[in-house]
Amino acid sequence: MFLHVYELRHALRGFQGSVREAVPLAPMTHLRIGGPAAFFLEPKTEADVGMLVRAAREFDQPIHMLGGGSNIVVADDGVPGLTVSLVHLNRVMRDELRITAGAGVTLPSLIRGTKDLGLAGFELLIGIPAVVGGAVAMNAGTRDTEMFERLVSVTVVDEDGEIRVLARDQTQPKYRNGGFGKMIVVQATFELEKDDPPAIFARMEVSLKRRNATQPVTQKSVGCVFQNPEGHAAGRLIEEAGCKPLRRGKVVVSDRHANYFVNEGGGTSQDFLDLVQDVRDRVAAKFDVDLCPEVKIWGG
């Protein structure tokens, strides 16, 4: 249904955050393409998140959670409903070996901060450009580890707008999927272990150098476009299917890592989606494997 900003603001009486219309999303994503958010909300409290969830249900509006913007493709004509950033939920608390971080805390800052405290366990996640909420929601990780490996509990806002705390054994994470459905992660607690900061930093350096050597980290991309099929590496399948030089408009398969698509400047969401379909078709024709996108497509 069509929603007027006055109706939304009325439903959000007591909301402490900001509500804006027609906010460009391309600058907030790593791919730097796509149109505006119909409504862009930045709640300041967990109660605010519950409030906007109830408002979205009242007006039958979809919710899109914007984390670090590193794994989404925004449609050229924009995104309907409510786009939500939890950037203000950025507190970090420590209790001995346990670290509790708000959803808006950036993963790189959390990794650096825990290293300085002599707490190990996050260093192999270095280089992932995410925020804690998004990283937990999608169970972000590398070949060496993933977010749930250190997770103790997670605070979520459920579909009714209620705040709930889930223990690790109450969750069902999968590969690149925290399994939360429509629940919104607002905070997470992790248990780390003591180690010397120089030793932690050394492991960070090794992991980051390997990542930089094999992935186009300085270019505009969304990270891995496809999930790895069981028993296969998506990048290898794409390369062996002859897709490495493929392009659609200004979006091209990376010559460094075939599972990365790069916006060379001026690319569109449609360019990206056309390239996704072309690569899927070629891999399916050569290997009879259907690649499943890991990237999230918003709008369109």
Q: Within 10 Å of residue 66's Cβ, how many Cβ atoms?
A: 24
pLDDT at 214: 80
Phi, psi for residue 235 in degrees, rounded to 5: -60, -40
Q: Model confidence over 14-26: pLDDT tens digits?
A: 999 999 999 999 9
Q: Model confidence over 138-155: pLDDT tens digits?
A: 999 988 899 999 999 999
pLDDT at 87: 97
Nearest to 253 by CA among 228, 287, 219, 284: 219
Give the chain's radius of gyration (CA, Å). 20
pLDDT at 217: 77
Residue 79 to residue 77: CA distance in whole angstroms: 7
Residues 234-298, CATH architecture: Alpha-Beta Complex (3.90)
Our CA dihedral for 142, 148, 151, 152, rounded to 10 degrees, sits at -160
pTM of the model: 0.93
Single-letter residue type at 116: D
Our CA dihedral for 230, 232, 235, 237, rounded to 10 degrees, sits at -120
Under the banding of pLDDT at 50, 70 and 90, the label for residue 114 is very high
Q: Within 10 Å of residue 260's Cβ, how many Cβ atoms?
A: 22
pLDDT at 300: 77
Q: Model confidence over 254-269: pLDDT tens digits?
A: 999 999 999 999 999 9
Q: Model confidence over 175-213: pLDDT tens digits?
A: 889 999 999 999 999 999 999 999 999 999 999 888 888
Q: Strand pairing of 163-167 and 251-253?
A: unpaired
Average pLDDT over residues 66-87: 96
Query: How far is CA 42 from its chain centroid?
Result: 17
Q: Which fold has domain 5-85?
A: 3.30.43
Residue listed under structure tokens 């891995």: 224
Residue 111 to residue 125: CA distance in whole angstroms: 8
> How many residues in total does the chain contain?
300
Average pLDDT over residues 27-52: 97
Cβ-based neighbours of 218, under 8 Å, separated by 6 or more: none
Cβ-based neighbours of 255, under 8 Å, separated by 6 or more: 244, 245
| Domain ranges within the chain, ordered by starting residue | 5-85, 92-214, 234-298
Residue 129 to residue 135: CA distance in whole angstroms: 9
Q: Which CATH number fits domain 92-214: 3.40.980.10, 3.30.429.10, 3.40.50.1100, 3.30.465.10?
A: 3.30.465.10
Nearest to 166 by CA among 186, 191, 146, 149: 186
